[in-house]
Amino acid sequence: MHKKDSEEARMLKEMLETAQGLHAHGVMSKVDMARVRALCEEPPAYPPERVVAVRTTIAKVSQAVFASFLNVSVSTVQKWESPTADKHPSGAAAKLLQIVETKGLEALLI
């Protein structure tokens, strides 16, 4: 892990701890706490079979449509879905996949 990454992880952890304290004292609502948690916690890993499952069983769209929703190229989606490509979604793309997986593709239409 790079120094910048570890600093960012530390700040996110501290932000989450602060929000948990505010929530425990009734200063932060349950909804706002859930939003902070969603922003601060790392998204899960998305190996190829999980990406395929999200796209085909939850989003139920083609690779081209999926790529458009995630603002990535079709080639990127193809690489994510290929067991031999060794390319996995990270950062914002992984977070968007997590949103689609938990709330459906419609959540990205807002």
Domains for the chain: give ranges and CATH numbers.
3-40 (no CATH), 48-109 (1.10.260)
pLDDT value, residue 7: 84
pLDDT tens-place string over residues 45-90: 999 999 999 999 999 999 999 999 999 999 999 999 999 999 999 9
Residue 34 CA to residue 39 CA, distance in Å, equals 9
What does each C-alpha distance from 23 to 15, 32, 38, 42, 92 come to in angstroms?
Answer: 12, 9, 15, 20, 26
In the predicted structure, residue 98 carries a pLDDT above the cut 60 = yes
- Which pTM does this prediction carry? 0.72
